[in-house]
Amino acid sequence: MRACYAGRPPKNLTMAENETPVLRFAPSPTGFLHIGGARTALFNWLYARHTGGKFLLRIEDTDRQRSTEAAIAAILDGLSWLELNWDGEPVYQYARAARHREIAEQLLAEGHAYRCYATPAELEEMRTKQRAEGKPMRYDGRWRDRDPSEAPPDASFVIRLKAPRSGETIVHDVVQGDVRFANENLDDMVLLRSDGTPTYMLAVVVDDYDMGITHIIRGDDHLNNAARQLQLIHALDWPVPIYGHLPLIHGPDGAKLSKRHGALAVDAYRDMGYVPEAMRNYLLRLGWSHGNDEIISTEQAIAWFDLEHIGRSPSRFDFKKLDNLNAHYLRATPDAELAKEVEALLERMQPPQSLSGVARTRLQALMPALKERVKTLIELATAADFLYADGPPALDTQAEKALTPDARKLLRDDVLPAFEKSEWRAETLEAAARSLAERLGMKLGQVAQPIRAAVTGKTSSPPIFEVLAVVGKEESLARLRAYAG
């Protein structure tokens, strides 16, 4: 169901501080949900949950050529993965076009808007002249005070806002402070196009009003839009929402965030092995602070979040910090839950991989040791791959080097005979290996490393004797035999 809202009674004042907050996240489905949008959604969600208000979702799909169902699905999926649950049904802006046109006609009837009959050729000529004279390119108001009867019969027109020409428009912003715009630099924006479709500026203002939005928290690339939208709000005698414009996110080098920095779709972070708790914590710290706290649980974030501690400077995206946070949350995740996360990741990969009951049991049993060594679910899934199937594992480059002819001979002549008669517990296996090393005049590591390479296919793993106990006697001995010289 696609939700729509009707109008609400006008209230000619700024939103009261004690009014129940209603916030919204309003992405355009012309692309996927990226990291900046995810942070904006998080800040809105946190403030709504902190204040006991509402967090609404609006899909601004008025750009019919560029909006896609795939992008809408990705936005909904990304928010769901981040566990940013919205209240009610999503509102789809395009479905509300009739309401937007109604408001444009109302402004026209009240004298706050006018019909502009300037042709595309005339507008291009106007811009060319302004460009040649070094002037800012903006509409010159040529139809602002003319009688529509002067237009040619059946001429097409747009409806423009009759914006104030003097003075200034001030955006009172809880993040940026007061931001002032000279009205002479803001032209009469189009509200309704010649084909009767509403513009983004009109649709946003009407939708925010009808949805009862009290706070607008968004990126500071919308600051200019805020000034224009305020002029429209004043013309309609509607309440002014509380604004907060967030500084943009930059890369580690201070440059505009790009794909090489981490400007990826949110689902890419999921596929890279990050968990939603870590992403929420990391995004929270990209522009908001609570003393020197770095690790902030979602419960703490909801309890502490406010608008006053949003910084004014751009944040810098840092994968190292994200990795460290992710590692913390992986270690804090219960073993059974983390094993399910790994299994879900394997099922999403190409080709998908499913685990047997034995593999699932092995994975969960070894999880306490595995999760201490990794930073992402991908690393965890890779580190545990020797648990997924029976048979000798494929050797990585270092494991091949470790299994020299002498090492293989050691496995055949010494390790296998010692292990075959050993009780199959980590402690007894380690004791057998130590006894063997002492008898041969070797260090424990010289005995353990060939065992690790043969059983796991790697030279780095959780404690090898714990691994042997989890893999089991029959399977471990079979792997050792496969690589014994």
Give the catalytic positions in this structure: 259
Q: How far apart are the first and last CA of the chain?
A: 67
* Bond into 351 cis (ω within 30): yes
* Dihedral (CA of 124, 126, 129, 135) sign: negative
The H-or-E segment that residue 77 falls in is helix 69-81
- Dmax over CA atoms of the chain, in Å, equals 109
Which of the 8 DSSP states describes residue 212? T
CB 442 within 8 A of CB 433: no
Q: Are 444 and 434 within 8 A, CB to CB?
A: yes
Query: Hey, CA dihedral for 415, 421, 426, 428, is it positive or negative?
Result: negative
What proportions of the chain, in percent to the nearest 5, are helix, strand and coil?
50, 10, 40
- Give me the residues paired with residue 23 across strands: 55
Q: Where are the alpha helices (DSSP H) in 275-424?
A: 276-285, 298-304, 319-332, 335-348, 357-370, 377-383, 397-402, 405-410, 416-420
